[in-house]
Amino acid sequence: MRVSARVDYAIRAALELARAAQAEDAGGPPAQTGPAGERAGGVRSSRGIPVKVERIAQAQEIPRKFLENILIDLKRAGIVRSARGSGGGYQLAHPPGEVSLADIIRAVEGPIATVRDARPEELRYHDAAEHLGEVWVAVRASLRAVLEEVTLGDVASGELPAPVARLAANPDAWIPHLASFGWVSPRLSSSGSGAAGSGPRRKSGRRVESRR
């Protein structure tokens, strides 16, 4: 899975709103106040109070214009809502614990797993590739197992679901895996994932396990 800048920015922006909601729930200082220190909208809820675009952009170092377009998509999907006025901004439309990372991805980029812009179950393969569709469906299932289970609340609090935490705790998960036969795409080598020809080699007729 290649995570685009748009997805990365969208999740980080939503996490800023989740943090504001959690701070409000905890009775902490409001992330933003209106005139005379009054809470924006006068509403205290698990969705938090509105956070201005400028604050989100600065906190997460996201280009403002890019962020504005992302927030529009999230609003259209019903994930965030906006408030006008001096105390306005954006806030989550649902509690952080009810919004999954998959929800964010689908809102800004569509399905979490596609092959040639088609959903895995829509593909038809023949002959030697007959069972390839099953592989792509399994890949999507593995992504769902993480992205649909982890919520904004989980990430903002640093308390991931146990199965996901176990995956992240595996030291091997933090090690870049290279191609099996010693060649790495120039696209990867140029991004610092390893120089072409530097991957594991086949030795003594035994295949080196693929690690990527």
62 and 9 in a common domain: yes
- What is the rounded distance in angstroms from the CA atom of residue 192 to the CA atom of residue 134? 32
Specify the DSSP class assigned to residue 81: E
CA-closest candidate to residue 89, choices 68, 62, 58 = 68
Beta bridge partners of 92: 80
Residue 86 is predicted with a pLDDT of 78
68 and 18 in a common domain: yes
* Residue 89 lies inside a defined structural domain of this protein: yes
* Residue 205 lies inside a defined structural domain of this protein: yes
- What is the rounded distance in angstroms from the CA atom of residue 17 to the CA atom of residue 90? 7
* Residue 106 lies inside a defined structural domain of this protein: no
The three-state secondary structure class of 51 is strand
* Residue 46 lies inside a defined structural domain of this protein: yes
125 and 90 in a common domain: no
194 and 117 in a common domain: no
In the block, residue with structure tokens 């989100």:
56
152 and 189 in a common domain: no
Q: Would the pTM of this model clear 0.85, i.e. be above it?
A: no
Residue 27 is predicted with a pLDDT of 61
| 66 close to 4: Cβ distance less than 8 angstroms | no
CA distances (Å), 130 to each of 89, 125, 126, 150, in order? 51, 5, 4, 33
pLDDT in tens, the chain (212 residues): 889 999 999 999 999 999 999 887 766 554 443 333 333 333 344 566 899 999 999 999 999 999 999 999 999 999 999 998 877 899 999 999 999 999 999 999 999 999 999 999 999 999 999 999 999 999 999 999 999 999 999 999 999 999 999 999 999 999 998 877 766 666 655 555 444 444 443 333 333 343 34
* Residue 103 lies inside a defined structural domain of this protein: no
Residue 150 is predicted with a pLDDT of 99
158 and 132 in a common domain: yes
Domain count, the chain: 3
